[in-house]
Amino acid sequence: MAAGRLSETEQRCGLRWAAAVDRVLRWVPGDSACLVRAAAIRELVRTRGLPDAEVQIGVRRGPGGFQAHAWVAQHGEPIAEPGELRNLFSRLDGVTIR
């Protein structure tokens, strides 16, 4: 498989566990921001078939100023990331959580 492409099985795994994390975070009081979500998804997918998954962090200048976002990727390919967010943030090279 070419680097940067997720198989259908990897995509389904990521989407399934991201949906589970999203359901749980609705009931958790306090901060359930993207970094918390990404860390939880990363742990789940790493133990269930995506061992190279990592949290990546990106930044952009938005309408309200500086913005940052965290997501999970396997070999550079975002996992369970909403389509509208995929290309809005510039990934910080060398800033990943493995």
| Nearest to 11, CA basis, from 63, 73, 62 | 73
Regarding pTM above 0.85, the answer is no
Residue 29 amino acid letter: P
- pLDDT (tens digit, 9 = 90+) per residue, 18-33? 998 888 888 776 666 8
Q: How far apart are CA 86 and CA 77, in angstroms?
A: 10
For the four alpha carbons of 65, 97, 44 and 48, in that order, the dihedral sign comes to positive
In the sheet that holds 54-62, the strands lie side by side as: 77-79, 65-74, 54-62, 90-97
- pLDDT (tens digit, 9 = 90+) per residue, 51-81? 999 999 989 997 889 988 899 999 888 888 8
